[in-house]
Amino acid sequence: MSEFCQLLRDVYSCAHCPQDYGFCDSPNGSYYKFPPLIGATGHADILFVGINPRRSSSNLVLHEQLMTSKRTFAALASNRIRGEPYIRASGQERHYHDHLQIIREVYGEAVPFESCAAVTELFLCATETSNSLPSPESPCAERFLPRVLTIVQPKVIVAVGSRVMDYFRIKQVERLAADEISSCIAGHNYGVVRMPHPGNTGLPDLQRRSEIETCILKVRSRLG
């Protein structure tokens, strides 16, 4: 069994974290969750790291499908739902629109997300909000993130929001610039840059655009 398939299997059945983090039992006996990767399932230049998946009225059906079908769970890891890309420019999931802007600016309009990037989370199980999750530590990330990094081997990690950046600051080796650090995970150093969280509605549009543009410049610099 490949390292990726083993990771999928281990995550699918995991209920290691306490339920009072806000997690809900799913039909398969573990918590509702997303795969440990969405996008590239092997080496990729960019790894976006978010806080955790959300359960809302708009995606309850998707969550049910994921936790009643290992095939659907594996398909989403490859960025496919019902044969269509999940993270895409015309997709309904607005959370990933800023991710896609970064990809378009770095690689061009026509490049599929999964050809150069992947998404993972500090907590892989889903909640309605992130309020009950510990911060900045994450027992889930301690358990699975090193395995994700071994599979993806990213040239740059993009922390989605300040809360995720705070997790990487725990492991900070060097502060390189404002919102750019080097972090050591499982004996390897990774460059980490921050992008604004898409759910931060209090961030003025002008500041959001400026922070995304800064993130793009730092990603380009990391990719050479």
Q: How far is CA 140 from CA 21, 28, 147, 186, in A?
A: 11, 19, 11, 14
pLDDT in tens, 64-78: 999 999 999 999 999
CB 183 within 8 A of CB 168: yes
| 90 pLDDT tier (thresholds 50, 70, 90) | confident
CB 222 within 8 A of CB 187: no
Q: What residue ranges do the domains of the chain occupy?
A: 3-223
pLDDT the model gives residue 58? 85
Rounded Cα gap, residues 130 and 166, in angstroms: 15
Which secondary-structure segment (H or E) carries 106? Answer: helix 97-107
Average pLDDT over residues 134-157: 98
Q: What is the DSSP letter of 31?
A: B
Residues 6+ apart with CB under 8 A from 101: 212
pLDDT(220) > 90: yes
pLDDT(21) > 90: yes
pLDDT in tens, 34-58: 999 999 999 999 999 999 999 988 8
| 115 pLDDT tier (thresholds 50, 70, 90) | very high
pLDDT the model gives residue 217? 97
Q: How far is CA 141 from CA 89, 107, 167, in A?
A: 28, 28, 9
Query: Measuring CA to CA, which residue among 82, 145, 142 is closest to residue 119?
Result: 145
pLDDT the model gives residue 80? 96
Rounded Cα gap, residues 176 and 182, in angstroms: 7
- Three-state SS at 16: coil
pLDDT(162) > 90: yes
Mean pLDDT of the chain, nearest integer: 95
Rounded Cα gap, residues 47 and 40, in angstroms: 9
Query: Measuring CA to CA, which residue among 56, 62, 77, 66 is closest to residue 8?
Result: 77
Average pLDDT over residues 22-34: 94
Tally of CA atoms within 13 A in the half-sphere of 137 that contains its CB: 4
The arrangement of secondary structure in 3-223, i.e. its CATH architecture, is 3-Layer(aba) Sandwich (3.40)
